[in-house]
Amino acid sequence: MKSPRALLVRARHGSAAATAVPGLPPLPPAGPAPASDAPTTSGAAGDAGAVAGEAGTETRSAAEPAERAEAEAEPASVPGPPIPARPTVPPSIPAAPRMPPALPGGAPVGSTSVAPLFTDAPGLNWAGPGDSWSRAWAVRTLEGGGPEPAPQAAAQPAADPGAGVVRAADPAEQPPTVHDIELIRDTLAVVEPVADRATAHFYALIFLHHPEVRALFPAAMDVQRDRLFRALLQAARSAHDPAGLTEYLTALGRGHRKYGTLGGHYGPVGECLVAALARYAGSRWDAATELAWRRAYRLISGIMIEAAEGAARTSPPWWQAEVVSHQQRTRDIAVVTVRPDQPYPYRAGQYTTLETPWWPRVWRHFSFASAPRPDGLLTFHVKAVQAGWVSNALVRRAAPGDVLRLGPPAGSMVLDHAAGADLLCLGGGTGIAPVCALVEEVAEHGAAGRSVEVFYGARQEAELYGLEVLRGLAQRHPWLSVHPVLSGSGGMAGPDSALSGELPDVAARFGPWAGREAYVSGPPAMVRRSVGILLRAGVAPGRIRHDLVGDLAAA
């Protein structure tokens, strides 16, 4: 067993170079792993539960009773050391994090050399390169100073001098064509009705042939199975938009670093994916379809690996963060403030992934509830939902001194200060968190003549926990108007009474909203409905910003 400090050093190597992975070469057989460390794969081959990890919300498969949560809270395969005590001396966080100087190629220097404050925290939930279940892949990348050359490149000479004939390139190395994209979409249409079985079979193949990577995944695989197919659907839908697809895959590649994913993992994963699709696509699967998928996967993996390599030069795979404040606003809602171990650059309106020590390798999305602060602290609004593993742990179990892990920031719901358009913000429940951050950023940057209308919705008055803060900002800034909205009974009385009705409908009554930039955050159903209503209220399609992280970024 390696020390936590050794594991932390391993984590900073990032992924293998992009040139060493696409093409799906066969992998040499891995040595036998210690029987005492063998992880369970019972969650890989069973039926997948429809579990969606949304921003601030979680649900569990109906087949998994809630009373089993505490029994599963401490998986036997991840013992880990105890959470370190809260340090007596806080870390020094710069008032405005400065980017390090750039190399001629554009990569900053020295940005990953900051020593973390909590050196033992990764041992709590570490499962990645360097542990006993990740030795078979990328061992040369970690210990040999770099990846091996791709087998295809070594085996294929550029030309035969005697014959003067250049060897033909592998067809799978060509970019996907328009016909390939059509074949991929046809395959997904066939597989979608049985996606739960297809993805379960895919993960079963991975864990059967490469059990050393089981520790990279959470103990319960229902959420993970659902995410895979959503990622494939999103990639297929974005094929007509190369810039959008690249942006989406770049975010995935950067985010996968926190799992311990290396470039050497992509080849075997691609082979298992092709095998699973071939089994469940039926008569739709033929040689042309397989070639289309191999071309597409080569493109996808190349973008993700390149993004991971770029991120490895400028940032760590994750940030450790100590809980410094835990405020219980309602029975099920808490405002959690953390102090990262090193500067954490982000924009108001973005979100991050968060992992707790009580549910190793289970990451959930939460939006930042404040604009970047001079003291470097980060704030999240968390609602404990029924059978929500991470949200319940944060609301009911987390306390000052606990150490969490944060992934890199993501999301496009950020302000364009150059545009200067008036803003319309809809926040439902804990979806008010990024709206609060956006309002703070406008206040700090200066409204510059723009107005901001905020509609804050909840079911009951007690759930409008952030209303006082927003009204305080409105009193100091005349450009801000705040409208509380209650959809349930028992509304507010007096001159400050809340509007009654569903949040999107109430906002539409104050329209039309032509010329506005709209920002929408909340439960997925509310966001989707709001988009349709705002379009009918005059907001241009390109001016509605939202992040349905469960659909777009949780893969």
- Name the one residue in this structure whose structure tokens are 């490149």: 153
- What does the pLDDT average to over 36-56? 34
Burial label, 38 (beta-carbon count in 10 A; 0-12, 13-18, 19+): middle
pLDDT of residue 168: 56
Instruction: State the chain's mean pLDDT as an integer.
Output: 73
pLDDT at 136 over 90: no
Q: Among 453, 462, 461, 526, which residue's Cα sits nearest to residue 483?
A: 453
Please enumerate in sequence order all residues whose Cβ is within 8 A of that of 407, keeping only pairs 6 or more positions apart, or say none. Answer: 255, 258, 318, 352, 353, 354, 355, 363
pLDDT of residue 261: 86
Helices (H) and strands (E) in the chain, counts: 18, 14
Confidence of residue 418 (pLDDT cuts 50, 70, 90): confident
Separation of alpha carbons 363 and 29, rounded Å: 31
Q: Among 62, 40, 39, 38, which residue's Cα sits nearest to residue 49?
A: 62
Residue 260 corresponds to which amino acid? G
Confidence of residue 468 (pLDDT cuts 50, 70, 90): very high
Asked if residue 109 lies in contact with residue 99, where contact means CB atoms within 8 angstroms, the answer is no
Distances (CA, A) of 198 to 49, 193, 274, 521, 545: 13, 10, 11, 32, 33
- What does the pLDDT average to over 440-456? 92
pLDDT at 512 over 80: yes
Strands (E), 188-271: none
Domains of the chain: 4-31+40-69+121-150+171-312 (1.10.490.10), 319-406 (2.40.30.10), 423-552 (3.40.50.80)
pLDDT of residue 496: 64
pLDDT at 123 over 70: no
For residue range 253-264, list pLDDT tens digits in order.
898 889 888 888
Separation of alpha carbons 481 and 473, rounded Å: 9
pLDDT at 489 over 90: no
pLDDT at 126 over 60: no
- What does the pLDDT average to over 98-116? 37
Asked if residue 236 lies in contact with residue 188, where contact means CB atoms within 8 angstroms, the answer is yes
Q: What is the percentage of the chain residues whose pLDDT exceeds 70?
A: 66
Q: Enter the tokens of residue 4.
A: 């936590």
Name the region of 493 (left: φ>0; alpha: ψ -120 to 50; beta: rest): beta
Q: What string of DSSP letters covers 451-516?
A: -EEEEEEESSGGG-TTHHHHHHHHHH-TTEEEEEEE-SSS---STTPPEES-HHHHHHHT---TT-
pLDDT of residue 458: 94
pLDDT of residue 547: 84
Q: Among 6, 38, 14, 50, which residue's Cα sits nearest to residue 387?
A: 50
Confidence of residue 118 (pLDDT cuts 50, 70, 90): very low
For residue range 342-401, list pLDDT tens digits in order.
999 999 999 999 999 998 888 999 999 999 999 999 999 999 988 888 999 999 999 999
